Amino acid sequence: DRAPGGPMSMMHSGISQAREYDDPPGLHEKTEYLLREWVNMYHNASAGRDSTKAFTMFVHQMNVQGILKTDDLITRFFRLSTEMCTELCYRAFSDQSNPSPSLVRAKCFHTLDAYVRLITLLVKHSGDANNSLTKINLLHKVLGIVAGVLLRDHDFRSTEFQQLPYHRIFIMLFLELSAPEQVLESISVQVLNAFCNTLHILQPSKAPGFAYAWLELVSHRVFLGKMLVLTPQQRAWGMYAQLLIDMFKFLAPFLRNVELPKQIQLLYKGTLRVLLVLLHDFPEFLCDYHYGFCDVIPPNCIQMRNLILSAFPRHMRLPDPFTPNLKVDLLPEITQAPRVLTNFASMIQPANFKKDLDSYINSRSPVTFLSELRSNLQVSNEPGMRYNIPLINALVLYVGTQAISHIQTKGQAPSMGTITHSSHMDIFQNLAVDLDTEGRYLFLNAITNQLRYPNSHTHYFSCTLLYLFAEANTEAIQEQITRVLLERLIVNRPHPWGLLVTFIELIKNPTFKFWNHEFVRCAPEIEKLFDSVARSCMPQKPS
Amino acid sequence: GVAPLGPVPLTKNCFFQSQMLEASSQHMPHPSDSERLRLYFPRNLCPTPSYYPQSLPNCDSLDFFQRLSVETLFFIFYYMEGTKAQYLAAKALKKQSWRFHTEHMMWFQRHEEPKTINDEFEQGTYIYFDYEKWGQRKKEGFIFEYRFLEDRDLN
């Protein structure tokens, strides 16, 4: 697709052609005439089912006007038509004599829907019936043109920008191209691809004035269904994950600063709703891409992350974490690794750091690797942005998965006894001791992001976190571990299973002497909180 | 909420993004923007007190439609074109032995056994629903030609 001359290059040429103005004389008038003709024909009762009769006549007219002579003229025709349609919407909005908002909308839809049908028919009928490449190329071209006109309009009008015409064109075109027809079904994956590429190009950080419409498009039930259910072999899952990542990236700087202006709150709420739909209907999707999502969601967005981390495969039955004497290591699922569809190993950069890491994991030397670890993760001295968070996340998961396979090759299973005294645990213990508060918070969060449904990662990292607590040389580390777990539990549901299991083990198992620590009783409301958690998960709290 | 890592100054670009978002929040997408045009009732959102029903459970099932009166079904059929509701209304009408005449664009029901039945048509007394006068009418000696019978399987 990305090859020169492929559909993506059609889209990019469409985008750049949206900025050209040197039209041949008379083309503007011809386009205006043709578009008006088409809108009339589309709304006429004699247009035939799906406007096919009208279309045959219209193609003849386009020929007479010479529009279909060259690709360049066709491109210009689409650009001018898109501009005319959007202009018309701006005029309808500014016309104060319009009696009601729904009539203004109806007026806009009158033209936009006709234009969308024209695009659909031209795409369907371009090339031979079996020539899908011509159709796909044309679709990419048109989407590129509409995206290009949008971006230019967005820059040019700034806060006066209206998302409606573009929103309508994209969604209606998508619905038309999703109709149950053989011609369309044979190109459905490429159609999805084209729309995903367009949405990625128009992501909220590129066109913030289009962000609400963008989220509506991404979460539209037909779009969601096509992306996550109807496309075989989950071939569209990766593309859909990319779109969600686009949204998380846009929200991240605002969310991490907590003070959210109303317009961001609105978008955040919408994103949470999409996540709830996904958690309910497509939990496996959230499971597979949790790593990539958690990598871009700021550490303080606890509920958002909990939604993602609470997802578990639908066929699984999770044992109640509050069951007395729950034996986690006896669950059959605990030996199976979860699917992680992000290549996290490749995110450990630069290459020589990865080389040193691998060599330390294998040989447990040199010790200087550990002492230099902190400087490899640190990127600046600015408080709050000292560390390379994606690198910490990648390092933690990579070392953990290496540890699991190391233990398994020895014929053992990860447990509190087998995870210790290894190069992997050296790295984790070193990070716990050597990092400052900020770094340790990020490190512990990276571990806690793996506490999900019963699987080998959950089990390994649960043991690791408890081991780090037990072996901590200062109370500060223990307090921070408690903090990371607790702050994910005091928010509203859902709570990931592995998180609950780990926390319950910590407060229940006397070997951790949890209740002897100062910080448990540092404030009356904290103490009360612990008491209530304790009451809910064990019959009698040790006093 | 809490910001454990402390706030970070927003970039100029973030301020621009926030401003663009604020402006577009003044004209949010409307539910009708991503729906086919409704000619007869455009969506008209307005706040209603919470003690009025805000939704009907299970209202898009055939079961629900079969409990509606025929008048309601005719209304849905003629005024909600191209929707799932129209499809369900047509299905419910067919279950009650109404047949759609594609030339008159009206629904017919036998009032009695037809006087004549052959391969091309049947003839007899029918009840039909007149969407212009908005009411049920009776027609005697009507010839229902089978080529105007809408007989697609609605499944």
A180 and chain B in contact, CB less than 8 A: no
Residue B86's pLDDT band (boundaries 50, 70, 90)?
Answer: very high
> For the purposes of burial, counting CB atoms within 10 Å of the CB of B19, is it exposed (0-12), middle (13-18) or buried (19 or more)?
middle
Q: Which residues of A482-501 are buried (b: 16+ CB within 10 A; e: fewer)?
A: bebbbbbbeeeeebbbbbbb
Which residues of chain A make contact with B30, given a CB cutoff of 8 A?
A: 105
Torsion of CA A8, A13, A15, A17, to 10 degrees: -160
pLDDT digits (tens, 9 = 90+) for B105-121: 999 999 999 999 999 99
The closest CB to that of A300, out of B3, B25, B28, belongs to: B3
Whether the upstream peptide bond of residue A350 has omega within 30° of 0, thus cis, is yes
Residue A1's pLDDT band (boundaries 50, 70, 90)?
Answer: very low
A146 vs A141: CA distance, rounded Å: 9
Q: Nearest C-alpha of chain B: how many angstroms from A210?
A: 7
Whether the upstream peptide bond of residue A494 has omega within 30° of 0, thus cis, is yes
Which residues of chain B make contact with A175, given a CB cutoff of 8 A?
A: 36
Q: Which residue of B has its CA nearest to A161?
A: B24
Q: Between vectors from CA A345 to CA A341 and to CA A350, what angle results, nearest 5°?
A: 140
Q: With an 8 Å Cβ cutoff, are A212 and B5 in contact?
A: no
The closest CB to that of B1, out of A154, A258, A264, belongs to: A258
From residue A471, give the alpha-carbon distance in Å to each of A64, A371, A374.
84, 19, 20
Higher pLDDT: A16 or B146? It is: B146
Beta bridge partners of B110: B126
Question: Which two structure tokens, joined as six digits, stand for B18?
Answer: 């926030």
Q: With an 8 Å Cβ cutoff, are A384 and B27 in contact?
A: no
> Does B17 have pLDDT greater than 90?
yes
Question: Which two structure tokens, joined as six digits, stand for A537?
Answer: 């998960």
Q: Nearest C-alpha of chain B: how many angstroms from A30?
A: 28
pLDDT of residue A324: 78
Which residues are CB-neighbours of A446 under 8 A, at least 6 positions away?
Answer: A392, A393, A395, A396, A397
Contact predicate A514/A506, CB 8 Å = yes
Residue A454's pLDDT band (boundaries 50, 70, 90)?
Answer: very high
A254 and chain B in contact, CB less than 8 A: yes
Q: Which residue of B has its CA nearest to A218?
A: B34
The closest CB to that of A264, out of B5, B18, B37, belongs to: B18
Residue closest to A200 by CA, chosen among A238, A168, A172, A169: A238
CA A279 to centroid of chain Cα atoms: 13
Return the percentage of chain A with pLDDT > 70, whole number.
97
Which residues of chain B make contact with A158, given a CB cutoff of 8 A?
A: 20, 23
pLDDT of residue A95: 84
Q: Nearest C-alpha of chain A: how many angstroms from B151?
A: 18
> Does A215 have pLDDT greater than 70?
yes
Q: With an 8 Å Cβ cutoff, are A212 and B34 in contact?
A: no
A264 and chain B in contact, CB less than 8 A: yes
Residue of B17, B22, B45 for testing the chain A interface, max A β-carbons within 10 Å: B17
Contact predicate A147/A14, CB 8 Å = yes
Which residues of chain B make contact with A250, given a CB cutoff of 8 A?
A: 17
A338 vs A496: CA distance, rounded Å: 15
pLDDT digits (tens, 9 = 90+) for A116-127: 999 999 999 988
Interface of A with B in 213-242 (CB under 8 A): 213, 216-217, 220
pLDDT digits (tens, 9 = 90+) for A143-194: 999 999 999 999 999 999 999 999 999 999 999 999 989 989 999 999 999 9
pLDDT digits (tens, 9 = 90+) for A320-359: 988 878 888 888 999 999 999 999 999 999 999 999 999 9
> Does A539 have pLDDT greater than 60?
no
Pairing of strands B116-117, B121-130: antiparallel
> Does B84 have pLDDT greater than 80?
yes
Q: Which residue of B has its CA nearest to A222?
A: B34
Q: With an 8 Å Cβ cutoff, are A259 and B7 in contact?
A: yes
A257 and chain B in contact, CB less than 8 A: yes
Residue of B21, B44, B84 for testing the chain A interface, max A β-carbons within 10 Å: B21
A169 vs A326: CA distance, rounded Å: 55
Q: With an 8 Å Cβ cutoff, are B14 and A163 in contact?
A: no
Q: Nearest C-alpha of chain B: how many angstroms from A37?
A: 20
Contact predicate B86/B76, CB 8 Å = yes
ipTM for this model? 0.89
> Does A388 have pLDDT greater than 80?
yes
> Does A543 have pLDDT greater than 70?
no
* Count of CB pairs separated by less than 8 Å, A with B: 122
Return the percentage of chain A with pLDDT > 90, whole number.
77
pLDDT, averaged across chain A: 92
> Does A439 have pLDDT greater than 50?
yes
A250 and chain B in contact, CB less than 8 A: yes
A106 and chain B in contact, CB less than 8 A: yes
Residue A98's pLDDT band (boundaries 50, 70, 90)?
Answer: low
Three-state secondary structure string covering chain B: CCCCCCCCCCCHHHHHHHHHHHHHHCCCCCHHHHCCCCCCCCCCCCCCCCCCCCCCCCCCCHHHHHCCCHHHHHHHHHHCCCCHHHHHHHHHHHHCCCEEECCCCEEEEECCCCCEECCCEEEEEEEEEECCCCEEEEEEEEEEEHHHECCCCCC
Q: Nearest C-alpha of chain B: how many angstroms from A342?
A: 26
Q: Nearest C-alpha of chain A: how many angstroms from B113?
A: 35
> Does B2 have pLDDT greater than 80?
no
> Does A7 have pLDDT greater than 90?
no
Q: With an 8 Å Cβ cutoff, are A261 and B18 in contact?
A: yes
Which residues of chain A make contact with B46, given a CB cutoff of 8 A?
A: none
Q: What's the average model confidence in pLDDT over A238-267?
A: 94
Q: Is A378 helix (H, G, I), strand (E, B) or coil?
A: strand
A165 and chain B in contact, CB less than 8 A: no
B67 vs B86: CA distance, rounded Å: 15
Q: With an 8 Å Cβ cutoff, are B18 and A113 in contact?
A: no
Which residues of chain A make contact with B3, given a CB cutoff of 8 A?
A: 256-258, 300
pLDDT of residue A5: 66
Asked which of A47-61, A200-214, A341-355 is least confident by mean pLDDT, the reply is A47-61
pLDDT of residue B1: 44
Interface of B with A (CB under 8 A): 1-8, 10-11, 14, 16-25, 27-30, 32-34, 36-37, 42-44
Q: Is A397 helix (H, G, I), strand (E, B) or coil?
A: helix
Question: Which two structure tokens, joined as six digits, stand for B152?
Answer: 């697609």
Which residues of chain B make contact with A205, given a CB cutoff of 8 A?
A: 17
Query: Is the model's pTM score more than 0.80?
Result: yes
Q: Is A415 helix (H, G, I), strand (E, B) or coil?
A: coil
Residue closest to A301 by CA, chosen among A344, A263, A248, A340: A248
pLDDT digits (tens, 9 = 90+) for B62-82: 999 999 999 999 999 999 988
